[in-house]
Chain A
Amino acid sequence: MASRLSLPAMPGVRQIGEIVNGTRGRGEEAVVVENVSKRFRIPHERKSTFYDHLFGLARGGRYTYEVFSALEEVSFSVRRGETFGVIGPNGCGKSTLLKILAGVLRPDGGRVAIAGKVAPFLELGVGFHPELTAIENIRLYGAIMGLSRREIEGKREEILEFADLKRFENMKLKNFSSGMYVKLAFATAIEANPDILLVDEVLSVGDEAFQKKCASKIEEIRRAGKTIVYVSHALASVRDLCDRCLFLEEGRIAALGEAEEVVEEYLRRMG
């Protein structure tokens, strides 16, 4: 049985795939990715029922599919406290990489080691339930992040205050406007106090005032020494925010290094 949660030798360390020797003890690197590959199977004929399978067999059909290689032998590491950018054209494997770091996808080859609690901002409001009230949803989200009941209760007021939703705390989420929804989602995720943030271009939420609040919150988190992995098409913000940067092209590393240089390389190639 491949259970990825079977070896928490050091608290807060989540191992994906095999153990990377030595990385657990050092505490220097927050994220280590070694030779990670991910291939997707794209079937020629989509069979998603028993009926399809039986019918396909009866006609003598065979299960054929094409292999799409989303990531090929990607290796890099992110230091603790670093803001790390990932750029590349559409379909280069950025989102796949982020999902592997989040633990949602399992790599076909290679190793990933992550030290600390990860908050994936792949989408805001994950797990929110429309039939529950704002407070109940905060509790739900906190639990998804693996927080204990006491930790969640301790952060409740801060979250409601940050999102300006104190008045609506007992309102069901289905009655929220989309703006209020997004504010609550962002506030809840950010207050979960993760060690590592995976951010996939979701920072432009809410109205102007709230956006400013978010930006300064992110800056605050950065200064507090948290690790951020930031995937974006906004090259200017990558250059400003990130220390180092990874440039992916067709699932392979095209450049890796100082953010400024990598962004320049990207612009030159995409010219």
Chain B
Amino acid sequence: MWIVEYRELIRILTVSDLKVKYQSSVLGFLWSLLNPLLMMLVLYFVFSNVFKFEDDSFALYLLIGIVAWRFLANGTMTSISAIVGRPSLVTKVYVPRQVLVLSTVLSSFVSSILEFSVLIPLLIFFGVDLSINVLFFPLIHLAFLGLVYGMSLVLSALYVYYRDLNQIWDVLLQAGFFLSPIVYPAEIVPDKYQAAYMLNPVTVTIEMYREALLYATTPSAADLAFVAAAAGAALLFGAAVFGRLEGRFAEEI
């Protein structure tokens, strides 16, 4: 299995990716935390008057949604060029190409964990009762990792052949941001669309993050199973597409 055989390479690529990411900007790590906070502030002032929340947890509601979404957006946006961005590792030497995608996704995964762990003290500070349900966080986050990695496999492989895919994906991500319950509560979606709306695994995942971290409720087994199944399907589909397209990577780069 390539994951075991090349685990050292995966580790090194992930760590060096993180190092470059956090060292190249002046504020480094701080920036990556400020970004979601500032975004939360902007969205808070825009949307807090649009949707009437009973309690004043809207800021935290937003923040959890934003941080969760950032993992999907950053993870797929950086790994879309994981193959094309390292031409020498594709055309000059043989390493399993999935290594390149996985290490980019893992680097975003680590960033996301850091962002979430800064969120915890904020939750406590604003008086949220953290319950034992916080322990569901790793489970939800791992399922989300599977989903993001599966998507990244498809995107990075297609990007080798279609170099405007990043532009298209950028637009699709913008649409996805507003199609997911990030700046608004899921309940405002009309009843007749609810069933279809909840078919989006990203929506269900974001709702589960909030249940575990903000509302101190236990995510339902059905939701967990649904997201895990979606992640499994994304992984299988991603691996199949990647395997088919991989053969001519070295010729197309």
Q: Is B161 an interface residue (CB 8 A)?
A: yes
User: Do the beta carbons of B12 and A140 come within 8 Å of each other?
Assistant: yes
CB distance A48 to B16 under 8 Å?
A: no
CA distance A163 to B9 in the complex (A): 23
- Which chain B residues border A40 with CB–CB below 8 Å? 251
Nearest B residue to A151 via CB reads: B8
Q: How far is the CA of A106 from the CA of B86 in the complex (A)?
A: 19
Asked whether any CB of chain A lies closer than 8 Å to the CB of B190, the reply is: no
Contact A144 B89 (CB under 8 A): yes
Of B53-61, B90-98, B137-145, B213-221, the segment with at least 4 beta carbons within 8 Å of chain A is: B90-98
For residue A57, CB closer than 8 A to chain B, the reply is: no
Cα A132 to Cα B94 with chains together (Å) = 22
Partner pick for A50 among B13, B96, B165, CB 8 A cutoff: B165
Question: Per-residue CB proximity of A114-147 to B under 8 Å, as 1/0?
Answer: 0000101011001101011000100110111011
Main secondary structure of the interface of B (DSSP, over half): helix
Alpha-carbon distance between A106 and B252 when the two chains are bound, in angstroms? 13
Q: Which of A29-37, A82-90, A96-104 contacts B (4 or more CB under 8 A)?
A: A96-104
Q: A102-B94, A140-B16 are in contact. Are A148 and B8 (CB under 8 A)?
A: yes
Q: Please give, as numbers and ranges, the residues of chain B lying within 8 Å of A146 by CB-CB distance.
A: 5-6, 9, 95
Q: A105-B250, A120-B93, A127-B88 are in contact. Are A1 and B164 (CB under 8 A)?
A: no
In whole angstroms, what is the CA distance A118 to B94 when docked?
Answer: 9
Chain A residues with CB under 8 Å of B9's CB are 140, 143-144, 146
Which of B19, B24, B88, B92 neighbours the largest number of chain A CB atoms within 10 Å of its CB?
Answer: B92
Would you call A126 and B165 a contact (CB within 8 A)? no
Closest chain A residue to B240 by CB distance? A1
Minimal Cβ-Cβ distance residue in A for B160: A48
Please determine whether B162 and A102 come into contact, CB atoms closer than 8 angstroms.
no
What sequence of 0s and 1s flags, for each residue 71-109 of chain B, a beta carbon within 8 Å of any chain A beta carbon?
000000000000000101111111110000000000000
Say yes or no: A50 contacts B168, CB within 8 Å. Answer: yes
Interface residues of B in 10-24 (CB under 8 A from A): 11-13, 16, 19-20, 23-24
Q: Is the CB of B239 within 8 A of A147?
A: no
Q: Please indicate the chain A residues that have their CB under 8 angstroms from the CB of B16 in the complex.
A: 129, 131-132, 136, 140
| A152 interfacial by beta-carbon distance below 8 Å | yes
Most buried by A among B93, B239, B240, B248: B93
Q: Choose from B12, B161, B162 the contact partner of A143 (Cβ within 8 Å).
A: B12
* Cα of A131 to Cα of B239 in the assembled complex, Å: 31
- Total count of chain A residues near the partner, CB < 8 A: 36
Chain A at the B interface: mostly helix, strand, loop or mixed? Answer: loop
Q: How far is the CB of B6 from chain A (nearest CB, A)?
A: 6
Is the CB–CB distance between A147 and B162 below 8 Å?
Answer: no
A3 to B11, CA, bound (A): 22
Tell me, rounded to whole Å, the shortest Cβ–Cβ distance linking B75 to chain A: 21
Q: How far is the CA of A180 from the CA of B119 in the complex (A)?
A: 46
Q: Is the CB of A122 within 8 A of B163?
A: no
A131-B20 contact given A120-B94, A146-B6, A147-B8, CB 8 Å threshold? yes
A102 to B93, CA, bound (A): 6
Q: Which residues of B contact A139 (CB under 8 A)?
A: 12
Contact pick for A106, options B6, B89, B240, B247, CB 8 Å: B247
Contacts of B13 in A (CB 8 A): 140, 143
If A1-B239, A123-B88, A140-B16 touch, whether A103 touches B94 (CB-CB below 8 Å) is yes
Residues of chain B within 8 A (CB-CB) of A104 are: 90-94, 250
Interface positions of B (Cβ within 8 A of A): 1-2, 5-6, 8-9, 11-13, 16, 19-20, 23-24, 86, 88-96, 161-165, 168, 239-240, 243-244, 247-248, 250-251
What would be 17 A-B contacts, judged by CB atoms less than 8 Å apart?
Answer: A3-B243, A5-B96, A50-B162, A53-B162, A104-B90, A105-B251, A120-B93, A126-B88, A127-B88, A140-B16, A143-B6, A143-B8, A144-B93, A144-B95, A146-B9, A149-B8, A152-B8
Given contacts A48-B161, A49-B162, A146-B6, 10 further A-B pairs with CB under 8 A are: A1-B239, A2-B243, A40-B251, A49-B163, A102-B92, A120-B94, A127-B93, A129-B16, A131-B23, A143-B13
